[in-house]
Structure 1
Amino acid sequence: MSLGDEPGYPETGHTRTRLPESDPYGGASRRGGRSSSRSLVTVVGVVVLLIAAIAFANRGGGGDSPAAKTTGGNGSRPGTSSTAASGTRPVETKSTEGIPTGFAHSEQGAQSAAANYAVTLGSTGMFNQDSRHRIVTGLYTSAAANDLQNAMDSAYSANFLSKMGLDVNGYPPQGSTFVSRTVPVGTKAEQYDDSSAKISVWYMGLIGMSGSSSTNPVTTTWKTWTFDLQWVGGDWKISADTQTDGPAPVPGDDQAATSDEISKAVEQYGGFTYAR
């Protein structure tokens, strides 16, 4: 189901989610589930992060930097420096709200910012109105944030949260663990100068409800999230963003974990601060 199928959601036309054919938690079978205005582009770019979550809820009922140039041969592969860690310290401080700040005024700093912003925007904090407002205000330019807040509140409606198995404040029922994580695999600078950057983040997403009564287990998605960044007030801020599917690797033969194992893993394994 695409985001445009939900009443009141803007049509993106670019993103889809592939759902698993079976439910390791024993749940019910699933069912399929530019404008010229820059503000509209920004709204669409952010709200598109809900697509994987909406599909889950409906299941149960320019050029590279010189370092990135390819080498010869029949195929091509990136140079060593394009995939190796830069060693640049990614962030100096973090706010009390856990929003990453203080990234370097460099191409590496922009890539680090984009990776960490993807993590924050893909977190469970986006499902609570107060924390979502702080996240959007903290990560976006003031103009983009002003355009987004009402649209995001409408997207994360009480009806939507209920479909996700969450209460009106975005919290799961007692005994269950709601999982929403973004795990960056790599970043790429599509364009960079001192005042702006376009950075793509290839990531794996985790979304689902873990609990003994859950019929919608935690599943994975693969996406590429592209951020338009501006250098504002001594840090990188998002002015617009978009997402596309994949690239997704071929699924392995790993046995699906039990609900209890997933809940414990989420509680015991914390996230990272990502650096390019």
Structure 2
Amino acid sequence: MYVVNVTIGTPNQQFLVQLDTQNNGLYIQDKSCRFCNHTFDSSKSSTYKFLSQNSSLGNNNYTIGQDVVNLGLSPNLLPIPNTIIEQDTWPYYADGILGLGLQQDGGYGYIGNNLPILVNAYNQGVVDQPVYTIYLRKNIQNGDAGVITYGGVDSTNCGSVIAYQPLAKYENYIIAFSGISYGSYANSNPYTTLVDATSFYIAGPPSVIANMAKVAGAISTDVNNNFYQVNCDQQLPSFSFTIGGKQYTVDSVRSLNHIAIFMIRETNDLDSLCLKVNKN
């Protein structure tokens, strides 16, 4: 789980919220949450505006409000006025969720159909572009897992290839790509894929992961061959994929005392595969 800093209200109330690139909206634990440690108190904000309240979900009541939201940490705060907030009465793993996904019909929670927070910022002239860049460090340094740039491209950490790929389907960030390779295994079939910067696995058809597991020397750990395991002490191949005619390569990473798990996961509409790394 990756967390980022946000502040809400006037004066600022500071929170650590989970970064989510699939859902849309800002969700925060409200002061009325009985089991939450760090909550938002709208009565202490002079810029807060109450919009609506819902109590039809039993104990899962929520309030919709509007306030000034600052992304980042002082002195590099990005203030976004008129931001819609869902104040929830149930606990999150962090203080809440910052969803940077696309506008959805219904969406996650109850505010997913509102304008994405950076589109709202762009419409108000707060940022030059309604985009963001996420850079994840290979090695976490003093709790610093990376950098997120709101409203532009990260010119410090991004490489020379800045490419924009049209969405194959307006449902989250779904794009088309035209082939993958993993060591001696290559597959040139076209696929569509869901891009999620905050997930920890690579998904694809079961036949693809079976071949990747074979190349990696993975050993099946269950009778249905749904899980494969390989020690990352050994040298693993690089993983390459082609998007928009450009090939991108993820270099092999050797991580001592870690285990890589290849997992086949069935969903309602397709069979997918996951590559997950867990500590021993």
TM-based fold match above 0.5: no
- Larger gyration radius, structure 1 or structure 2: 2
Higher relative contact order (CA 8 A, sep 6+): 1
So what's the TM-score if we normalise by structure 2? 0.21
